[in-house]
């Protein structure tokens, strides 16, 4: 029974133990913004995470504030996250917090935008110079079809963020290179580029472009450093007096669904893809946490999306979104099932524990009743039991005494005529000490050993007197009395009459 209880408990413990399917690693994600491109990145990370149940993500968004992002990174450090993924708002401003995390021993993956310095573990991001090159090639392509210099407006991202700088540098370097080679050969017109800051936001881009168009009526091309700003610029052109629909050609960057849709709808003309690579970030994190080899610097490819590529791409986005929704549904159902299984198992554990407790209580009560009963029974029958035991003891004792008396009688009777029959003789014949002889003879006969011997002699004498012709004198002598007178005295005392009177 004890074994059953132990097994039940062990099983319960095992079941409780099995519920602990907890992730081992807590990963902090510090996002500078919460726009469509970053939502895509977050979704990719969440999807990849399904394959890494050992990790758990905790995402904090800085909404474009360097101070907030630094505070959020510091809080991750205080919470001792196992790894930090950071997409810095501005390279220099966020560097101190990233350095603090790195120096605290937390592996840091810098994603998309870089930080100043090299105190981080791995970088994963797009090729921003190449993005700039694609912008420039598009501008140069349009310029090639025109006899006058092309007026281009560049809408840049946040100036302190590395993609804004690198995209601009990449674009200007490519244009400069083409200008250099063309200036030498012919007098072809060159594009004139001016820049305004859109800070990565559609609303900011809208405002700066509206302002710009108030004073510049000859803009033909706008290159915005992301799709959101490109759409903002398109809306600014639409809403500005003197700029008809389609008269300004606009390029964006990112190639997210929103941008591709804008290309299909004719709002913007093209976009350069800028991969968000959330899946790669998670697999790299998994490698780092598992202390496996990983790539220190990953630069991802980019490509141009025009109307020809945009249609199938949009289709792909739609299909992917359906797939994602299905996956989310499946995952939600799985989660629900898992929760149900958990609840059922927890209920089962409670039931098992309750049954075990009931079982133990019942066992306890039974043992208690058994004990009480024993006590009661003992109390009630104990006196009787003692009596019986005592009687039994007495019986056993008297049985021994009877045997002793028998043996003693035999010895005494066999030596009645022997003058040596005395206490010592009896003691050695019965193998008892003098004291023992006195005690035992007294116990079984109620008299001392000498008295007993004399009585047995007197009884034999009486028998002889009755059954033989022997005289009193002869009998007294035969049975070792010192004199006939003494025999007569003893006889009278014992039988109450003289031997002659028999």
Residues at the site binding ligand FRU, with contacts judged by CB under 6 A: 33, 35, 37-38, 112-113, 157, 161, 163, 200, 226, 253-254, 274
Cβ at position 127, least distance to ligand FRU in Å: 12
Residue found by looking up tokens 């006195």 in the block: 438
CB nearer to ligand FRU: give 35 or 133.
35
Question: Residue of minimal CB distance from ligand FRU?
Answer: 226
CB nearer to ligand FRU: give 38 or 52.
38
Cβ at position 235, least distance to ligand FRU in Å: 17
CB nearer to ligand FRU: give 191 or 252.
252
CB nearer to ligand FRU: give 95 or 415.
95
- Asked whether 199 and 64 are in contact (CB, 8 A), the reply is yes
- Asked whether 72 and 34 are in contact (CB, 8 A), the reply is no
- Asked whether 97 and 74 are in contact (CB, 8 A), the reply is yes
- Distance (Å) of CA 267 to CA 60, 227, 298: 33, 11, 33
CB nearer to ligand FRU: give 156 or 178.
156
- Asked whether 189 and 142 are in contact (CB, 8 A), the reply is no
Cβ at position 243, least distance to ligand FRU in Å: 24
Contact partners, residue 300, CB within 8 Å, separation at least 6: 124, 125, 126, 127, 275, 277, 280
Cβ at position 254, least distance to ligand FRU in Å: 5
Cβ at position 126, least distance to ligand FRU in Å: 7
CB nearer to ligand FRU: give 113 or 130.
113
Q: Are strands 249-254 and 192-197 parallel, antiparallel or unpaired?
A: unpaired
Cβ at position 27, least distance to ligand FRU in Å: 20
Cβ at position 135, least distance to ligand FRU in Å: 12
Cβ at position 248, least distance to ligand FRU in Å: 21
CB nearer to ligand FRU: give 174 or 226.
226
- Asked whether 455 and 441 are in contact (CB, 8 A), the reply is no
- Asked whether 488 and 498 are in contact (CB, 8 A), the reply is yes
Report the candidate in 89, 83, 33 with the shortest Cα–Cα distance to residue 58. Answer: 83
- Tell me the two tokens of residue 11: 């099983």
DSSP letters along 166-202, please?
HHHHHHHHHHHHHHHHHHHH------EEEEEE-TT-H
CB nearer to ligand FRU: give 159 or 364.
159
- Measured in residues, the chain has a length of 502
- Asked whether 275 and 298 are in contact (CB, 8 A), the reply is no
- Asked whether 285 and 55 are in contact (CB, 8 A), the reply is yes
Cβ at position 62, least distance to ligand FRU in Å: 11
Q: What is the dihedral of CA 161, 163, 166, 171, to 10 degrees?
A: -130
DSSP character at residue 501: G
Cβ at position 59, least distance to ligand FRU in Å: 14
Residue found by looking up tokens 């009585």 in the block: 455
CB nearer to ligand FRU: give 132 or 157.
157
- Asked whether 38 and 31 are in contact (CB, 8 A), the reply is yes
- Tell me the two tokens of residue 442: 């007294």
The DSSP element (H or E) to which 315 belongs, if any, is: helix 307-414
CB nearer to ligand FRU: give 44 or 82.
44
């Amino acid at each position: 029974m004890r074994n059953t209880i132990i097994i039940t408990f062990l099983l319960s413990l095992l079941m409780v133990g099995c519920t602990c399917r907890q992730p081992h690693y807590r990963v902090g994600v510090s996002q500078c913004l919460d726009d469509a491109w970053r939502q895509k990145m977050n979704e990719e990370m969440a999807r990849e995470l399904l394959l890494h149940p050992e990790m758990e993500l905790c995402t904090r968004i800085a909404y474009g504030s360097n101070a907030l992002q630094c505070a959020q990174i510091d809080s991750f450090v205080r919470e001792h996250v196992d790894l930090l993924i950071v997409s810095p708002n501005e390279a220099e401003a966020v560097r101190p917090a990233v350095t603090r995390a790195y120096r605290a021993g937390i592996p840091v993956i810098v994603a998309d935008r870089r930080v100043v310095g090299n105190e981080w573990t791995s970088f994963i991001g797009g090729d921003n110079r190449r993005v700039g090159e694609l912008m420039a090639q598009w501008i140069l392509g349009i310029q090639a079809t025109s006899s006058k210099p092309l007026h281009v407006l560049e809408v840049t991202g946040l100036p302190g963020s590395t993609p804004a700088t690198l995209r601009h540098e990449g674009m200007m370097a490519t244009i400069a290179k083409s200008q250099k080679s063309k200036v030498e050969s012919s007098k072809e017109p060159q594009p004139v580029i001016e820049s305004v800051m859109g800070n990565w936001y559609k609303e900011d881009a809208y405002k700066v472009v509206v302002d710009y168009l108030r004073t510049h009526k000859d803009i033909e091309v706008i290159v915005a450093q992301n799709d959101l700003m490109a759409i903002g610029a398109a809306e600014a052109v639409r809403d500005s007096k003197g700029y008809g629909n389609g008269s300004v050609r606009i390029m964006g960057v990112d190639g997210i669904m929103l941008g591709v849709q804008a290309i299909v709808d004719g709002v913007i003309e093209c976009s350069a893809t800028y991969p968000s690579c959330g899946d790669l970030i998670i697999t790299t994190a998994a490698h780092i946490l598992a202390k496996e080899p990983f790539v220190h610097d990953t630069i991802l490819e980019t490509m141009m999306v025009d109307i020809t590529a945009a249609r199938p791409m949009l289709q792909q986005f739609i299909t992917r979104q359906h797939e994602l929704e299905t996956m989310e549904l499946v995952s939600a159902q799985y989660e629900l099932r898992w929760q149900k299984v958990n609840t059922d198992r927890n209920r089962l554990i409670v039931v098992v524990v309750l049954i075990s407790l009931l079982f133990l209580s019942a066992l306890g009560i039974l043992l208690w009743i058994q004990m009480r009963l024993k006590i009661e029974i003992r109390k009630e029958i104990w006196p009787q039991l003692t009596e019986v035991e005592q009687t039994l003891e007495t019986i056993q004792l008297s049985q021994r005494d009877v045997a002793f008396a028998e043996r003693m009688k035999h010895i005494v009777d066999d030596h009645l005529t022997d003058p040596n029959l005395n206490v010592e003789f009896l003691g050695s014949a019965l193998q008892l000490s003098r004291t023992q002889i006195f005690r035992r003879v007294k116990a079984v006969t109620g008299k001392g050993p000498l008295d007993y011997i004399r009585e047995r002699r007197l009884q034999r004498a009486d028998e002889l007197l009755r059954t033989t012709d022997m005289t009193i004198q002869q009998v007294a002598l035969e049975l070792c009395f010192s004199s006939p007178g003494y025999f007569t005295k003893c006889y009278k005392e014992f039988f109450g009459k003289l031997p002659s009177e028999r």
